[in-house]
Structure 1
Amino acid sequence: MPGVPTEEPPMQSTSPEVRRILRLFRPYRGRLAVVALFVGLSSLVSLASPFMLREVLDVALPQGRTGLLSALVIGMVAVAIATSAFGVLQTYISTGVGQRVMHDLRTAVYGHLQRMPLSFFTRTRTGEVQSRIANDIGGMQSTVTSTATSLVSNFTSVIATFIAMAVLEWRLTLVSLLMLPFFVWISRRVGKERKRITGQRQRQMAAMSAIVEESLSVSGILLGRTMGRSRALTDDFAAESRDLVDLEIRSSMAGRWRQSTIGIVMSAMPAIIYWAAGLTAAGGRPLISIGTLVAFTTLQASLFRPMVMLLQTGVEVQSSLALFSRIFEYLDLRPDIEEPAKPTPIQNVRGEVRFEHVGFSYDGSPALQDLDLVVPAGTSLAVVGETGSGKTTLGYLVPRLYDATTGRITIDGVDVRELSFEDLSNAVGVVSQETYLFHASVADNLRFAKPDATDEDLHSAARAAQIHDHIMSLPDGYDTMVGERGYRFSGGEKQRLAIARTILRNPPILVLDEATSALDTQTEQAVQEAIDRLAEGRTTITIAHRLSTVRDADQIIVLDHGRVAERGTHGELLAHDGHYAALTARDGTPVPVA
């Protein structure tokens, strides 16, 4: 289905990915230019040390020139201080840039997912989403924060050092560079291997996050313990964790033997240079002075260190491409429901709702077909029918949780697809069967609907929802923490908190999606009284499971396989003796005696 990623997405080509990663740094190119400046200065200043060392060995020490020796030593110390200062400054700036890029990426992914359709979240495990935001973006940290600086610093050092080596002794420089193609080949091989393993590792981490999210929630703990599956869940988690351990070891060891070859060659290069310098001797006298030889091997170490770091950065970049691919996969998902570029403003909403030839399909299977319906402002509509008849789908179309496949839905004559998301959410409130409360205080949960609500606003809404007295009886009152998903409250109490939250938002149109179907009779009565208070003066669409709650609706429609089978008032539909009468008899709703 569009909008839902596959388990194993195909990797994009490297070049477009790299260009896309570089675009993430574009807003910070000024700061990166400063970093490049510090890097360049640091590289140039550090090159002075080998030349000063040559003067120390070839001139100052043999000739006993203490003044020159002191000046050279002071110069070498000054170079070390300057290099360290430049390094601290460039690290501070580059780390700040990297962290801001990660912030931008996290925010972009979170904001993009907020726009995804419900179908995406019904088909994607919550732990998978969390893993991409936390683990994948977190895994990029070292690459994002240090890669730009490392590339510029090491590349500049390599070029500058190569020039200095060539100036000192061009023949030995050629010997030093013979192994460069071999180093590059090894690093590319290692990078490809780590990229593949990194993708597998991140998918494994996502699977573990999903297990933790599902099994260590309140619902998961209750289910696991009551089903006697706690040990089995622990065993499943242990198995996933062992697989992750194996992948972590493989990732850490990938190419280690091949890369160790680079270390061996680097360690052997000074000896090779000494041997090559000896071969250039003429008449028993070396053509290269001791000072030049020592300075050259010092530069050689300075050359190979950034060269190897460049190769390692290349390996890290290739590995991180697997992480970027997973993040870009989410960012490339197209939301099914888009806000209009130029929304139609709507003010003083009366609340008339019209369905004009509305149809809707899930994956090509029709849920609603050719629905024509008018709900006048301030009236109530009840929607009843068998399970799967399309009742909830109808309710979800009004606030645009889904978009109609055919036809249109209007509020006061304006197509809901032409309204801004803010105007639509202000116009339509939803109270569903499954109430969601955040792990926060009662007051914070209520203010989610209206952040600027005063304490008196909260109390007034809670009184209307008949939950104020219960809240005040708690030790901490409105500061009471509700617990994960509101588990400190009963079903009826959570439902009344949800109603209070909706009262605070004060929408002119209300959609009630089987808001009392999961409650016992006594609790249902209390919640229904709160709902009746909420519905006063509003356009109300009630998705009903228990028909006893809709007898007083201004109009009732019966859905059958996505079509309106019957419509009318409670009395009219009973007299018709059709679908509604059959549903009423099955539901046990008392029928008034004429």
Structure 2
Amino acid sequence: MNRIPLLKALRHDRWVRPFLKKYRWTLVLAISLGILTFVCAGGLMFTAGYLISRCATMPFNILLVYVPIVLTRAFGIFRPVFHYAERLTSHNWVFKMTSMFRKRLYDSLEKDAVFFNSKYRIGDILGLLSEDVAHIQNLYLRTIFPMLVACGLYLIIVIALGALTPWMGLLMLILFGLIIFGIPVWSILVNGARQEQEKEATNRLYSDLTDNVMGITDWVLSGNSSKYLQRHDSDEKKLLSSQRKMHRFNNFRDFVLQMLILLVIISLVVWGSYHFGGHWGANWIAAFVLCVFPLDEALAGLPVAAQQTNVYTDSLDRLNSLPEPSKEQQATPQIEAPYQIDIDNVSFQYSSDTEQILQHLNLQIKPGEKLAILGRSGTGKSTLASLIRGDLQPTEGQITINGELTDKFGDQIANYIGVVHQSPYLFNTTVLNNIRLGNEDATEEDVWSVLKRVGLEEKIRQLPDGLNTKIGEAGLIFSGGERHRLSLARILLKDVPIVILDEPTVGLDPLTEQRVIDTFMNELAGKTLIWITHHLQGIDAMNRVIFLENGKITMSGTPQELWENNPHYRKLKKADQGL
């Protein structure tokens, strides 16, 4: 049998254990309230059982009935009070913990946010952001809390009964030990492996089904559709077989659990008859037996909760594989205009087992220069833009602005470099909020000013609520060219000295493309402009053109120089113009 995966994962855990220690007193309070809840529930059944059986006989003293009535009312009132307080405390503890938990998670992911897909699978990303935090919450609420509450009740029962009768205390130590520890561990070891097999089988079945349905035409044309169906049926039968085994085990485990609880009840009946024999013995026997039933609520869910730790372990493993958030606050470089970008012997590859995207690149971009970077898709143009912004670090060499490494600026790089992407994203909020992303302190007059400059003032004024009009999901009320103009408006509102245009005219018709290019050139006059494109329309407005191929610069010069001296450039431009 395998060792319990959760215990192995917790040994070097950085995500669960620290919060258990940091909020230990709130945790102790929540567990104490949980124990008191079940103590009151047991006390309610105990006094009710005693009272019912006692009232069946003629009491010789009214206090024998009055005191249990008072205790029944007290336990009946305090049980929901403690239960509510426990839920309030435990959920508040978990939400407070997970707020810091999420912050730490996003701090860990922030380093790799730009090229996340190069290091993590899409499934891992979705798991981290949508499931793993919820899994850790459930680990606390559905496993750790119930288990600790059960342990507290375990100690109370064993000590209380052991004080009355040592052999009864020893028997309860064994029986409740099997219920609280033995069966959950048994469930983890047996069904945990089956859970893993079920998950793998489900993933394989889903992957095969997706791939094969996408290629169903090939299966039919090749005459092998029956083989596909047979393989699918075989995989499905294996999955169903694994699930049936899990269900059979769960039913058998629950039967064993209930038999142990029944054994506890029988033990109490025998012990009560022996210890409280005589005329009043039946009253105490009923009280002790009924007292056990609320414990079933606290104990019956432990095996299922323990079994779920196999699911939580995957989340813990993924989280602990993330980089530790940096605690050092690096000073942001302070630079002043004019701003010069130097690319010195820069090479870059996403990982050691992939090809180099850029190879020993050397380039100097002077203040106010308009540089066009040409090249086919996949030649590293956008990667170079990310390196210039400091979102990526070069594998070799360095990129600096006025002598300062761009990757040292952090978020402050936005004060110096703005980017207009291929598909500018507009959020589902007002026009005003979307444009103010460039400068949150800008006034409405400032916003109208930049809208006028990009040629959208009239369009916005015609909207139902003007600047307060909701754009809608992905900004679909605007055309492609208008979305690029709104993106430019953000840049103008920020007034950064360096602007990167990352193929901003892709997908636009020629007339719209030219109008957008003219707007960019007019409004960004005087700024350093880096235009990444594979399309040569408007290229003559640039000061310099470079061509990237296989990660290297294969041509460089002014548009006029390249037209006169470079046959390859002339061929590209003629092809672009349809000549």
TM bucket, shorter chain: 0.7 to 0.9
2:356 partner SS: strand
One-letter amino acid of the structure 1 residue matched with residue 422 of structure 2: Q
Hey, what does 1:162 align to over in structure 2?
Answer: 158
2:149 partner SS: helix
Hey, what does 2:322 align to over in structure 1?
Answer: 333
Deviations 1:452-491 (A, max 9, x none): 3222222122222222222222333333333332233221
One-letter amino acid of the structure 2 residue matched with residue 188 of structure 1: V
Deviations 1:41-67 (A, max 9, x none): 667777877599879979996760123
2:531 partner SS: strand
Say yes or no: does 1:121 pair with 2:117. yes
Hey, what does 2:406 align to over in structure 1?
Answer: 416
Work out the CA distance in 1 between the residues paired with 2:247 and 2:520: 59
Q: 1:128 to 1:165 in 2, by over 3 A?
A: same
Gaps of 5+ in 2: 208-235
Out of 23, 32, 52, the residue aligned to residue 27 of structure 2 is: 32
Hey, what does 1:555 align to over in structure 2?
Answer: 544
Deviations 1:400-431 (A, max 9, x none): 23221111111111111222x12212211111
Shift of 1:381: 1.2
Hey, what does 1:230 align to over in structure 2?
Answer: none
Deviations 1:379-407 (A, max 9, x none): 11111233433322222211123221111
Shift of 1:354: 0.8
Hey, what does 1:138 align to over in structure 2?
Answer: 134
Out of 501, 523, 529, the residue aligned to residue 512 of structure 2 is: 523
Deviations 1:315-361 (A, max 9, x none): 414414523532551463339x9898423422434321111111112
Deviations 1:7-53 (A, max 9, x none): xxx98824427784232333322322333444566677778775998
Say yes or no: does 1:463 pair with 2:465. no
Work out the CA distance in 2 between the residues paired with 1:132 and 1:205: 20
Say yes or no: does 1:78 pair with 2:67. no
Shift of 1:261: 2.2
Work out the CA distance in 1 between the residues paired with 2:240 and 2:476: 35
Tell whether the 8 Å contact from 1:449 to 1:505 is kept in structure 2 after alignment: yes
Larger deviation, residues 570-579 vs 133-142? 133-142
Shift of 1:582: 3.0
Hey, what does 2:183 align to over in structure 1?
Answer: 186
Hey, what does 1:388 align to over in structure 2?
Answer: 378
Hey, what does 2:529 align to over in structure 1?
Answer: 540
**Superposed counterparts of 1:28-107, under 5 Å:** 28-39=23-34, 64-107=60-103
Say yes or no: does 1:565 pair with 2:554. yes
Work out the CA distance in 2 between the residues paired with 1:455 and 1:137: 39
Say yes or no: does 1:444 pair with 2:437. no
Say yes or no: does 1:375 pair with 2:365. yes
Shift of 1:449: 2.5
Say yes or no: does 1:259 pair with 2:254. yes
Out of 473, 476, 480, the residue aligned to residue 484 of structure 1 is: 473
Q: 1:449 to 1:289 in 2, by over 3 A?
A: farther
Tell whether the 8 Å contact from 2:456 to 2:485 is kept in structure 1 after alignment: yes
Work out the CA distance in 2 between the residues paired with 1:14 and 1:301: 40
Shift of 1:564: 1.7
Say yes or no: does 1:355 pair with 2:343. yes
Work out the CA distance in 1 between the residues paired with 2:199 and 2:439: 38
Q: 1:416 to 1:197 in 2, by over 3 A?
A: farther
Tell whether the 8 Å contact from 1:54 to 1:291 is kept in structure 2 after alignment: no
2:426 partner SS: coil
Q: 1:559 to 1:43 in 2, by over 3 A?
A: closer
Tell whether the 8 Å contact from 1:574 to 1:581 is kept in structure 2 after alignment: yes
Work out the CA distance in 1 between the residues paired with 2:22 and 2:6: 26
Deviations 1:298-319 (A, max 9, x none): 4466468548835733641441
2:308 partner SS: helix
One-letter amino acid of the structure 2 residue matched with residue 563 of structure 1: K
Work out the CA distance in 1 between the residues paired with 2:472 and 2:173: 65
**Superposed counterparts of 1:498-513, under 5 Å:** 498-513=487-502
Q: 1:250 to 1:425 in 2, by over 3 A?
A: farther
Tell whether the 8 Å contact from 2:187 to 2:303 is kept in structure 1 after alignment: no
Deviations 1:188-207 (A, max 9, x none): 23234555566688899999
1:355 partner SS: strand
Gaps of 5+ in 1: 1-9, 211-240, 279-284
Deviations 1:500-521 (A, max 9, x none): 1222222111111121132111
Out of 105, 108, 113, the residue aligned to residue 109 of structure 1 is: 105
Tell whether the 8 Å contact from 2:47 to 2:68 is kept in structure 1 after alignment: no
For normalisation by structure 2, the TM-score amounts to: 0.79
Tell whether the 8 Å contact from 1:187 to 1:259 is kept in structure 2 after alignment: no
Deviations 1:268-306 (A, max 9, x none): 54345545777xxxxxx9883464565366446646854
Larger deviation, residues 100-109 vs 360-369? 100-109
One-letter amino acid of the structure 1 residue matched with residue 331 of structure 2: P
Q: 1:321 to 1:468 in 2, by over 3 A?
A: farther
Tell whether the 8 Å contact from 2:6 to 2:309 is kept in structure 1 after alignment: no
Tell whether the 8 Å contact from 2:265 to 2:292 is kept in structure 1 after alignment: no
Work out the CA distance in 1 between the residues paired with 2:131 and 2:368: 49
Tell whether the 8 Å contact from 2:421 to 2:501 is kept in structure 1 after alignment: yes
Say yes or no: does 1:581 pair with 2:570. yes
Work out the CA distance in 1 between the residues paired with 2:512 and 2:105: 41
One-letter amino acid of the structure 2 residue matched with residue 353 of structure 1: I
Shift of 1:444: 2.3
2:331 partner SS: coil
For normalisation by structure 1, the TM-score amounts to: 0.78
Shift of 1:130: 4.1
Work out the CA distance in 2 between the residues paired with 1:463 and 1:193: 69
Hey, what does 1:426 align to over in structure 2?
Answer: 415
Work out the CA distance in 2 between the residues paired with 1:24 and 1:492: 50
One-letter amino acid of the structure 2 residue matched with residue 322 of structure 1: V
Shift of 1:527: 0.6
Q: 1:197 to 1:559 in 2, by over 3 A?
A: same
Q: 1:416 to 1:242 in 2, by over 3 A?
A: farther
Q: 1:274 to 1:567 in 2, by over 3 A?
A: closer
Out of 484, 500, 504, the residue aligned to residue 495 of structure 1 is: 484
**Superposed counterparts of 1:273-292, under 5 Å:** 273-274=268-269, 288-289=277-278, 291=280
One-letter amino acid of the structure 2 residue matched with residue 465 of structure 1: V
Shift of 1:375: 1.0
Deviations 1:530-559 (A, max 9, x none): 211332121111112222322132222222
One-letter amino acid of the structure 2 residue matched with residue 157 of structure 1: L
Shift of 1:88: 2.6
Say yes or no: does 1:22 pair with 2:17. yes
Work out the CA distance in 2 between the residues paired with 1:356 and 1:165: 79
One-letter amino acid of the structure 2 residue matched with residue 28 of structure 1: Y
Identity of counterpart residues, as a percentage? 23
Work out the CA distance in 1 between the residues paired with 2:559 and 2:144: 71
CA RMSD of aligned residues (A): 4.2
Q: 1:514 to 1:11 in 2, by over 3 A?
A: farther
2:357 partner SS: strand
